[in-house]
Amino acid sequence: MNLPPYKTKMVEPIGLVSRAERIKKLKRAGYNLFFLNSEDVYIDLLTDSGTGAMSENQWAAMMRGDESYAGSSSFRNLQNAVKSILGFPYIIPTHQGRGAEQVFNSVFVKNGMVVPGNAHFDTTRAHIENRGGLPIDCTVSEAYRADFSSPFKGNVDLAKLEKTLKKYKSRVAYILLTVTCNSVGGQPESIKNIKAVSRLAKKYKIGLFFDIARFAENAYFIKAREKKYKNQNIRKIVREMMSYADGALMSAKKDAIVNMGGFIALKNKETYSALAPSAILMEGFLHYGGMSGRDMEALAQGLWEGTDEHYLKHRISQVEYLGENLSKIGIPILKPVGGHAVYIDAGKTLPHIPWNKFPGQALAIAAYIEGGVRSVEIGSVMEGRDQKTHENKKARMELLRLAVPRRVYSQEHLDYVISIFEKIFKIKNRIRGVKFTYEAPMLRHFSSRFTPTP
């Protein structure tokens, strides 16, 4: 049995508005689920980012928040937690992950440079492109075969990476590994692959950095799937993972289980000094950078809790439970189930909807109408347009992501979600595609508006 290693101390009421109301509200939201009011959503699987439930110890730590502008004890507590858990001595707090991305890329990416890695997250990609850079996806090809199950689909194709490093030489800004890799389904990277990437980075004298939004989940998968690490402590695995990187960018809203926050953590002082002026300019002074003292306290505590093995075991199995049960009722999902979310293959579920009528968005709409469940398209809407031709880019997979917030929902909630998809599966032929009525110029999935196609 998969028992939660916590009990509920505080509750937030939720309720299901009527189907007629849901249809009305969705229309008002331009069929974009980001524009729904949260009280109109019953089960919110839009994201696992900033939506986790903080613990009593995190709330208690917040009371100790030192709100001094500089030199606060809260900053030092965060610095100590990052050093103990990740092993990086230098830290720049930021307001969230994309704050870290903005600071980092503004310094290291110049026009015409490239950033190879496994599939970059959308905000990461946007920040690199915003500096005139080009993210190059070197993920193993099996990552894009939804029904092909293999343990480390977040791995880098080493031959492709080396070819890229040879081709672009001094135009490579840095290598970025996203662990776990959100854009291919929350899939992990093995230590073996990380080590090999690090060897290549050293050979070509290029910096290696990690996007560690979900590093603890990645470490759990390493323990579960990489033989050598079977009996190893999670925190030891984390330290080994990080030892191969020159630094890391973190959206703390995921594995540090806080509602807001992020940081850049670095191995050496030179990189820290190179980033510091931009960090002050964009985020705030180096001892708070977009976070209050209390937020840094909660984050420091969250890093310990997020790397607790009992917690991780429950967390990963909860997501697996959702995925396996959707699969059992015939819903095609991306396999194996990722760390933070189940990705439904919307292209396969709704084969009558072509990619440019966005089956993922259509399925998200159906899940809300049928059950008040909020999810997000990860497909051609999110993919955006080609920078040069301005044509719609076809995503490699049309997915619908059901992200599970940390320590929030029970198994009964997940059973309800499964029942809604069972219902949708029966009426799937009636689901229609969508087209834009307003298309946002960048990161368009967040703020575009749609209408169902005839």
Ligand X SMILES: Cc1ncc(COP(=O)(O)O)c(C=O)c1O
Strands 373-374 and 376-378, by their bridges, are: unpaired
Biggest alpha carbon–alpha carbon distance for the chain? 61
Q: Which of 27, 69, 203, 386 is catalytic?
A: 69
Q: Considering the rule CB under 6 A, would residue 130 count as an interface residue with ligand X?
A: no
Nearer to ligand X by Cβ, of 105 and 124: the residue is 124
259 binds ligand X (CB under 6 A): no
Q: For 329-408, where are the alpha helices, taking DSSP H only?
A: 346-349, 359-371, 380-383
Classify residue 204 by burial, with Cβ atoms within 10 Å: 0-12, 13-18, 19+: middle
Would you count residue 25 as binding ligand X (CB under 6 A)? no
Select from 22, 125, 127, 253 the one that contacts ligand X (CB under 6 A): 253
Could you tell me which residues are beta bridge partners of residue 438? 449
Binding to ligand X, residues 135-154 (CB under 6 A): none
Catalytic residue among 40, 122, 137, 157: 122
End-to-end CA distance of the chain: 47
Please indicate whether residue 352 is annotated as part of the active site. no
Give 154 or 433: the residue with its C-beta nearer to ligand X. 154
Q: In the bound complex, what is the minimum distance in angstroms from residue 70's beta carbon to ligand X?
A: 24
Query: Which one of 94-102, 157-165, 229-237, 424-432 is the stretch in contact with ligand X (CB under 6 A)?
Result: 94-102
Active site residue 211: yes
Closer to ligand X at the Cβ: 263 or 421? 263
Task: Tell me: does residue 49 bind ligand X (CB under 6 A).
Answer: yes
Looking at the Cβ atoms of 253 and 406, the one nearer to ligand X is 253
Q: Binding of ligand X at residue 102 (CB under 6 A)? A: no
Of 116, 133, 135, 262, the one binding ligand X by CB under 6 A: 262
Q: Which of 61, 213, 298, 367 is catalytic?
A: 213
Query: Nearest approach, Cβ of 251 to ligand X (angstroms)?
Result: 3
Q: Is 98 in the site for ligand X (CB under 6 A)?
A: yes
Active site residue 343: no
> Cβ contacts of residue 123 below 8 Å, gap of 6+?
97, 98, 101, 443
**Does 182 participate in binding ligand X (rule CB under 6 A)?**
yes
- Our finding on whether 375 is near ligand X (CB under 6 A) is no
Q: Which of 127, 224, 141, 216 is nearest to 176 (CA)?
A: 127
Bridge partners, residue 209, by sequence: 176, 247
Question: Choosing from 31, 88, 104, 121, which is the catalytic residue?
Answer: 121
Tokens of 208: 């290696």
Is residue 121 at the binding interface for ligand X, with CB under 6 A as the rule?
A: yes
Yes or no: say if 115 and 136 are a contact pair by the CB < 8 Å rule: yes
Q: Which of 129, 211 has the CB closer to ligand X?
A: 211
Q: Which residue is nearest to ligand X (CB)?
A: 97
User: Given the complex with ligand X, which of 185 and 371 has the nearer CB atom?
Assistant: 185
**Which value, to the nearest 10 degrees, does the dihedral of the CA atoms of residues 118, 121, 123, 126 take?**
40
Q: Are 245 and 212 in contact (CB under 8 A)?
A: no
Give the sheet arrangement for strand 399-403, strand by strand: 341-345, 399-403, 376-378
Spot the catalytic one: 88, 174, 445, 450.
445
What is the rounded distance in angstroms from the CA atom of residue 355 to the CA atom of residue 338?
A: 23
Active site residue 213: yes
- CA neighbor of 441 nearest in space, from 385, 401, 403: 385
- Catalytic residue list: 69, 121-122, 211, 213, 254, 445
Contact set with ligand X (CB under 6 A): 49, 96-98, 121, 123-124, 178, 182, 211, 213, 251, 253, 262
